[in-house]
Amino acid sequence: LQSIASADMDLNQLEAFLTAQTKKQGGITSDQAAVIAKFWKNHRTKIHESLINQSRWDNVLKNMTWRVDLKSQSRHVDQINTPVAIVEMELGKNGQVSFLL
């Protein structure tokens, strides 16, 4: 199951993998393969999301907005009408309150 989850196998890959496992000496039986296939079909999304959440060890980007402004006032005349990019990024960890940069 660990190999199936880490590869995030689709149904065709799963079938090929389980078939190979049943043909291996000391491998799984056809009944075990059927149970694993049914379990993976029913829980693939949850398992995949869980693995992604466990692999995150830092902040994640929750939201991002941006705009381009033109300077209308400045100490120096040559800086007027200079484009300025303003980027807002909302960072946070899963299950925690996020904060704005």
Report domain extents, the chain.
1-55, 60-92
Task: Supply the pLDDT for residue 53.
Answer: 76
Task: Supply the pLDDT for residue 44.
Answer: 92
C-alpha 52/C-alpha 79 separation (Å) is 46
Task: Enter the pTM of the model.
Answer: 0.53
Buried b / exposed e along 31-53 (16+ C-beta atoms within 10 A): eebeebbeebeeebeebeeeeee
Averaged in consecutive runs of 10 residues, what is the pLDDT profile of the chain (101 residues)?
88 93 91 94 90 75 88 74 86 59 44
